[in-house]
Structure 1
Amino acid sequence: MRLSIAKILSGTVFLLASGAALAHPSHEHASSFMAGFYHPVGGFDHLLAMLAIGLWASSLGGRALWAIPTVFVITMLAGGGLAVAGLSVPFVEQGILLSVIILGALVLFAKRLSTAVCVVIAASFALFHGVAHGMEMPLNADGLHYALGFAVATAGLHMVGLGFGLWMAKMGTPLVTRISGSVIATAGLLLAFSQ
């Protein structure tokens, strides 16, 4: 399956702009959606991991282009549901930081793994991100709209990473994608040591 850069970027714009569609039905739903939307975008560790997922998927190509981001979003939603249901998942913050470091390293070293293994890795990290989103949901938020918000933002960030990675490959500069992975992994290490 080949995706053009224009399709990926236009899809990202539509995903990121879809919050405006919820602005009129009620303030509760709109504010819940926006609270969920800003959570992955506002947390530097979440932001880096989401971009890394897209970069990693783009470097693998084939089924990984859609399988890794899709499984990440689905598992992240499940993790958010676990947190809202009151189930405890240990080492959430450590899992998130580890996701930034490892995903960045996978992009840096362009490690070729089977799509099934990549999906398991992505799902494992997505669980931690989802639990964090669920634990930090505002008490007055509508859960469905909040979840939709963080799912849309996450998918949008994946698409940005995916689009950038595909663009670099098309331009014949995959090294830039690998350097981006090193920046992400290094930032993860710095975040880990700063805590």
Structure 2
Amino acid sequence: MQASAPRKTAAALTIALLAGLCAAPAFAHPGEHHAVASFSLGFLHPILGWDHLLAMLAVGLWASQQPRRVAWVMPLAFPAMMALGALVGLQGGALPWMETGIAASVAVLGLLIAFAVRMPLAGGAAIIALFGLVHGVAHGIEAPAGGTLLGYGAGFIAATVMLHLAGLLAGMWATRPAASGRVLRAAGAVVASAGFSLLAFI
């Protein structure tokens, strides 16, 4: 008996995420600054680290499960607060629980998706804003010492928005009437598992 398409999709997503976690460093900010700041380096920073990548995709996936007016606020709240956090990081500010907070954001967002938790506008925006702030501080701390910091910042904000939109569109596809919401919930469970794995290695 052949597996259904949704099950195949969920299985493929699980394998891809777990394989990536095994093959790449868990964190996008290992403590070494890039040589020269640029838009391209800023753009790659969230994409090359699984903690940032999963969290930013998860924001879009969770947003797709919300009422429409909430769904479009979440992908805006995260980069806005991330920019503020980056300014804090650039000024030398740091959070003692920053790495834990980033890993926890992946785990929590995954659980919220897995259980299809719906939030009022204020509550959902507050959760997303907090996670955005933590990720932003990490981006600011890891900003290169030389080059164009404005371009670097524009790069990681552009990548963040792109990942949010990718997650949102994927979530909307997975929750359309012709599809099963179980695929999206399964993806949330995978993201949550990855988050707890990141927490275990801190």
Report the TM-score, using the length of structure 1 for normalisation.
0.82
- Aligned pairs for 1:1-195 (under 5 A) are 32-170=38-176, 171-195=178-202
Cα offset, 1:57, TM superposition: 0.3
Q: Cα deviation per residue 1:23-48 (whole Å; 9 max; x = unaligned)? A: xxxxxxx9610111111001101000
3-state SS, counterpart of residue 113 of structure 1: coil
Equivalent AA in structure 2 for residue 76 of structure 1:
M
3-state SS, counterpart of residue 68 of structure 2: coil
- Report percent identity of matched pairs: 43
What is residue 3 of structure 1 aligned with on the other side?
none
Equivalent AA in structure 2 for residue 73 of structure 1:
P
CA distance in 1, matches of 2:55, 2:106: 5
3-state SS, counterpart of residue 138 of structure 1: coil
- Provide the aligned C-alpha RMSD in A: 1.3
Q: Cα deviation per residue 1:62-117 (whole Å; 9 max; x = unaligned)? A: 11221001010000000001111222322111110010000000000011221110
Tell whether the 8 Å contact from 2:37 to 2:149 is kept in structure 1 after alignment. no
CA distance in 2, matches of 1:85, 1:34: 22
Cα offset, 1:61, TM superposition: 3.0
What is residue 27 of structure 1 aligned with on the other side?
none
Q: Cα deviation per residue 1:129-171 (whole Å; 9 max; x = unaligned)? A: 0000010011113111111000000000001110000011123
Unmatched 5+ stretches in structure 1: 1-29
Equivalent AA in structure 2 for residue 185 of structure 1:
A
Unmatched 5+ stretches in structure 2: 1-35
Equivalent AA in structure 2 for residue 144 of structure 1:
L
CA distance in 2, matches of 1:73, 1:165: 19
Report the TM-score, using the length of structure 2 for normalisation.
0.79
